[in-house]
Amino acid sequence: MALGNIRAMKKYIIICTALAALLLAQTACNVKSQTHLTTTAAGHSITADIDGVASLENNETNTVITTKFGSIVIDRSYVSLGSQKWTDIPEGVPITLNFSENKYSVQWTQNK
């Protein structure tokens, strides 16, 4: 092989490696973590899907889920976000919470 071809091949390999590294870095930056929590507390079966990291603390009278969006407190008859009461809920019903950057929701199924 001629010396010029070897240099051209090295240059090509370096460019391809750099492009692959940039693509990998871009892909890794777009990965989001999500936390899925399932528990039974305060008389409710609770399922939560939350963007990012979250922690769960079960107490005798309520459950506290701490997220980057703030604390969610689930009591027997209401859900609060931070220190504000968010919504009333019937006692003893299964609850599903979904939290992402732009959307918060709480749903429950009435027992029949």
- The counts of H helices and E strands in the chain are 1, 9
> What residues pair up with 72 in beta bridges, in sequence order?
65, 81
pLDDT tens-digit series, residues 21-80: 766 665 555 556 788 888 888 888 999 999 888 889 988 888 899 988 888 899 989 889
Exposed / middle / buried, residue 49 (Cβ in 10 Å: 0-12, 13-18, 19+): middle
pTM confidence score? 0.66
Q: Which residue would you say has higher pLDDT here, 26 or 103?
A: 103
Per-residue confidence (pLDDT) for residue 111, from 0 to 100: 62
Residues forming beta bridges with residue 38, ordered by sequence position: 47
- Residue spans of the domains in the chain: they are 1-31, 34-108
Rounded CA-CA distance 20/12 in Å is 12
Query: pLDDT for 1-18, tens place per residue?
Result: 565 677 777 777 777 677
Q: How many residues does the chain have?
A: 112
